[in-house]
Amino acid sequence: MNPEVAVQQRHWSAPMRREWLLAVSIATSVIFLFFGEFLFGLLVNPIWLAVIFVWLFSVVLGSALAVVRHADHLAERLGEPYGTLILTLAITSIEVMAITAVMRHGENNPTLVRDTLFAVVMIILNGMVGLCLLIGGWRRHEQHHNLQGANAYLGVIVPLATLSMIMPNFTHPTNGLPYSTVQQAVLVFISVGLYSVFLILQTGRHRGFFIEDTGEVSVEHVRTREGPLWLPVILLVAYMALVVFLVEQLAAPIDFVIETIRAPAALGGVVMAILVATPEAIGAVRASVANHLQRSVNIFLGSVLSTIGLTVPAMLIVSHLIGHPVVLGLERTETVMLVLTLALSTITFASGYTHLMQGAVHLVLFVAYFLLIFEV
């Protein structure tokens, strides 16, 4: 064989071997496309319920991780501000598609958006932050991040979280009605507007707020990737299309557990939040272990901000299009947990340095949140 041909074959075969999950996702989609009705008829059996849920959840999660991986590839190739936009839009799209699929599948659950939003905030600001700070503090006693960047994130997260999840309880304090159409339009305008201003800040004149104070960029961020640019674009679109289809199938076991077995309705939001938060959690923990806390801060605070600033407006628009109203206001216990989490996060990132104790406190709040889900 011609040596040049052999080199070219290896050049193309190596990336395709790494995409074995694409074949698994396609096979799973075909199976549920033709045999989904039969498989969902088996959900009454607890064993089959567990098997189908784990199967679909694993494939959807793997596909979501692949979406983030290829979006990160494009981000490195294209640079800013396109890189940030691609990563943010990819993650937000997964979240919007997942919530919409569950909303359309079973009985109307007006609190699903609220439960997912609250779960994302709790999982990231308590679970992910706690784990990163605990591991980082255990390995290096104290870690440093850019104080101005953290303040910029929290300066937008706190008002948007308050307007989205606390203020609705004061506009309709007795009957729990959702925001009116005008109020929702104002919230959409405020959320998108503030997020756009923040994006200009992050990718433009104050870009230095979001890098380490040393000004050094790790090898992880400056490495270049070879190969044609169209390949990750096609793979990104392919995985996202599979996520759209498979998450609709995942909605069936989720709705069965909530509506038939009468599990807490908030569990649906937790499942959606795990799908969204896991890709960022992996990247944040790796960065913290490598002593790049600023990278971790950008990941978990950026994820919360994009969820509140983009997912909430998108779901309000979707709710009008599909005719499913949404309720954003939290219950009393959840409101206390949100206020406590936002206050603790402000204190944690107020000095520019983090340590072991702060991670432990955040993890305690995460455990408390999880236990309160099953409160009767």
Condensed to tens digits (0 to 9), the pLDDT of residues 318-334 reads 888 888 888 888 888 99
pLDDT-derived band at 285, boundaries 50, 70, 90? confident
Regarding predicted confidence, which is higher, 20 or 52?
52
**DSSP per-residue letters across 249-309:** HHHHHHHIIIIIS---THHHHHHHHHHHHHHHHHHHHHHHHTT-HHHHHHHHHHHHHHIII
In this prediction, residue 177 carries a pLDDT of 57
Q: State the number of CA atoms in the 13 A half-sphere of 136 facing the CB.
A: 29
In this prediction, residue 108 carries a pLDDT of 61
Q: How is residue 86 written in tokens?
A: 């691609």
In this prediction, residue 163 carries a pLDDT of 93
* Dist CA 72 CA 77 (whole Å): 9
In this prediction, residue 219 carries a pLDDT of 40
CA 181, 186, 187, 188 torsion: positive or negative? positive
The answer to whether residues 236 and 70 touch, using CB atoms and an 8 Å cutoff, is yes
The answer to whether residues 130 and 278 touch, using CB atoms and an 8 Å cutoff, is no
* Dist CA 15 CA 18 (whole Å): 5
* Dist CA 262 CA 9 (whole Å): 54
Q: How is residue 174 written in tokens?
A: 């007795």
Residue 233: closest CA among 71, 15, 69, 63: 71
pLDDT-derived band at 2, boundaries 50, 70, 90? low
Residue 205 in this model has a pLDDT that exceeds 60: yes
Residue 282 in this model has a pLDDT that exceeds 50: yes
Q: What is the mean pLDDT of residues 7-25?
A: 66
In this prediction, residue 343 carries a pLDDT of 95
In this prediction, residue 220 carries a pLDDT of 43
pLDDT-derived band at 215, boundaries 50, 70, 90? very low
Residue 356 in this model has a pLDDT that exceeds 70: yes
> In the chain, what are the domains?
3-373 (1.20.1420.30)
pLDDT-derived band at 363, boundaries 50, 70, 90? very high
Residue 313 in this model has a pLDDT that exceeds 70: yes
Q: What is the mean pLDDT of residues 89-102?
A: 78
Tens digit of each residue's pLDDT (9 = 90 or more) over 132-171: 888 888 887 788 888 888 889 999 999 999 999 999 888 7
Percent of the chain with pLDDT over 90: 22
Q: How is residue 111 written in tokens?
A: 């609190």
* Residues ≥6 apart with Cβ < 8 Å to 198: 152, 153, 156, 305, 309
Please give the mean pLDDT across all residues of the chain.
Answer: 81
Q: What 3-state class would DSSP assign to 355?
A: strand
Tens digit of each residue's pLDDT (9 = 90 or more) over 52-79: 999 999 998 888 888 878 877 776 777 6
pLDDT-derived band at 217, boundaries 50, 70, 90? very low
Residue 104 C-alpha from the chain's centroid:
20
Residue 82 in this model has a pLDDT that exceeds 50: yes
The answer to whether residues 278 and 65 touch, using CB atoms and an 8 Å cutoff, is yes
In this prediction, residue 12 carries a pLDDT of 47
Tens digit of each residue's pLDDT (9 = 90 or more) over 106-129: 556 778 888 888 998 999 999 989
In this prediction, residue 201 carries a pLDDT of 84
CA 220, 19, 303, 267 torsion: positive or negative? negative
In one letter, which amino acid is 329? G
- The DSSP secondary-structure symbol of 180 reads P
The whole model's pTM is what? 0.82
Q: What 3-state class would DSSP assign to 342?
A: helix
